[in-house]
Structure 1
Amino acid sequence: MRKLNWKKTVAVSAALALCVGTLAGCGSSASSSTAASSEAASSTAASEVSSEEADEVAAKNVADLIDAIYVQERNENTDEQCKAAKDAWDALTDAQKELVEGEEADPDYFGRDTGDASKDDPRNEDNIGDNELLVVSFGTSFNDSRVKDIKGVEDALQAAYPDWSVRRAFTAQIIINHVQARDGEKIDNMQQAMDRAVANGVKNLVVQPTHLMHGAEYDEMMEMIDDYRDKFESVAVAEPLLGEVGADATVINEDKEAVAKAVTAEAVATAGYDSVEAAAKDGTAFVFMGHGTSHTAKVSYSQMQTVMQTLGYDNVFIGTVEGEPESTSCENVIEAVKAAGYTKVVLRPLMVVAGDHANNDMAGADEDSWLSQFEASGAFDSVDCQIAGLGGVADVQQLYIAHTKAAIDSLNG
Structure 2
Amino acid sequence: MRFPALSLIFRLVLLAALALPLAVPNTAQAGHGDKAPGKTGILLVAFGTSVPEATRAIDAIKKQAEDAFPGIPVRLAYSSKIIRDKIAGQGVAKSSPAQALADMAAEGFTQVAVQSLHTIPGSEYSDITATAEAFQAMPKGIKKVSVGRPLLYSFGDIALAAEAVLKSLPARKKGEAVLLMGHGTAHPANAAYAALQLALWKHDKGVFIATVEDTPGLDEVIPELKRQGVRKVFLVPLMSVAGDHAMNDMAGPEDDSWASRLKAAGIKGEPVLVGLGSRPAVAALWIEHLRDAVKELGR
TM-score range for the pair, normalised by the shorter chain length:
0.7 to 0.9
1:264 maps onto 2:195 in alignment: no
Task: Tell me the TM-score normalized by structure 1.
Answer: 0.61
Matched with 1:385 is: 271
Distance 2:153 2:186 in 1: 18
| Matched residue, 2:223 | 335
Residue of structure 1 equivalent to 2:53:
144
Q: Are the equivalent residues in 2 in contact too, given 1:301–1:318 (CA < 8 A)?
A: yes
Distance, in Å, in 1 between the alignment partners of 2:144 and 2:96 is 21
Which of these residues, 180, 204, 214, is aligned with residue 288 of structure 1?
180
CA offsets 1:150-206 (integer angstroms, 9 cap, x no match) = 111111011100121100111112222322321x22211122111101111101110
Pairwise CA distance, 1:340: 1.8
Aligned to 1:267, what secondary structure does the other structure show? coil
Write 1 or 2 for the structure with the bigger share of helix: 1
- Report the CA distance between 1:214 and its aligned residue: 0.9
Give 1:225 shift.
Answer: 1.4
In the alignment, what sits opposite 2:252? 364
Contact 1:138 1:170 in 2 (8 A): yes
Q: CA deviation at 1:213?
A: 1.3
Q: Is the 8 A contact 1:131 1:163 kept in 2?
A: no
Moved over 6 A (4+): none
**Residue 206 of structure 2: which of 290, 315, 340 is its match?**
315
Give yes or no for the alignment of 1:200 onto 2:107: yes
- Take 1:226 and 1:265, find their aligned partners in 2: how far apart are those partners? 36
Higher relative contact order (CA 8 A, sep 6+): 2
Aligned equivalent of 1:241: 151
1:163 aligns with 2:71: yes
% identical equivalent positions = 34
Shift of 1:303: 0.5
Could you tell me whether the CA contact under 8 Å between 2:168 and 2:281 is conserved in 1? no
Instruction: Please say if 1:177 is aligned against 2:85.
Output: yes
Read off the aligned partner of 1:210 and give its amino acid letter. Answer: L
| Larger-gyration structure (1/2) | 1
How many residues align? The count is 259
Distance in structure 2 (CA, Å) of the matches to 1:304 and 1:362: 20
Cα distance in structure 2, aligned partners of 1:233 and 1:329: 43
CA contact (8 A) 2:50 2:243 kept: yes
Task: Name the amino acid aligned to 2:66.
Answer: Q
CA distance in 2, matches of 1:353, 1:136: 13
CA distance in 2, matches of 1:310, 1:263: 13
CA distance in 2, matches of 1:387, 1:258: 22
Following TM superposition, by how much is the alpha carbon of 1:265 offset from its aligned partner in structure 2, in angstroms?
A: 2.7
Q: Which of 373, 379, 399 pairs up with 2:285?
A: 399
- Which residue type is aligned with residue 69 of structure 2? Y
Q: How far did residue 398 of structure 1 move?
A: 1.3
Q: Residue type of the partner of 1:396?
A: V
Aligned equivalent of 2:28: none
The partner residue of 2:243 within 346, 355, 358 is 355
Q: Which runs of 5+ in 2 are unaligned?
A: 1-37
| TM-score scaled by length of structure 2 | 0.83
Question: What does residue range 54-133 of structure 1 map to in structure 2 within 5 Å?
Answer: 130-133=39-42
Letter in 1 for 2:190: K
RMSD: 1.4
2:133·2:145 contact (CA, 8 Å) conserved in 1?
Answer: no
Distance in 2 (CA, whole Å) between partners of 1:174 and 1:199 is: 26
Partner amino acid for 1:282? K
Between Structure 1 and Structure 2, the one with more strand by share is 2
**What does residue 122 of structure 2 align with?**
215
Aligned partner of residue 66 in structure 2, secondary structure: helix
Give the Cα separation in 1 of the matches to 2:261 and 2:290. Answer: 39
**Aligned-pair CA distance for 1:223:** 1.7
Secondary structure at the aligned position of 1:371 is classed as helix
| Contact 2:50/2:83 (<8 A) preserved | yes
Question: Conserved in 1, the CA contact under 8 Å of 2:112 and 2:297?
Answer: no
Amino acid across the alignment from 2:236: R
Q: Which amino acid aligns with 2:239?
A: M
The CA deviation string for residues 17-55 of structure 1, in whole angstroms up to 9 with x for no partner, is xxxxxxxxxxxxxxxxxxxxxxxxxxxxxxxxxxxxxxx
1:391: Cα distance to partner? 0.6
Give the drift of 1:286: 0.4
Query: Do the aligned partners of 1:288 and 1:318 also contact (CA within 8 Å) in 2?
Result: yes
Whether the 8 Å CA contact 2:237–2:274 is kept in 1: the answer is yes
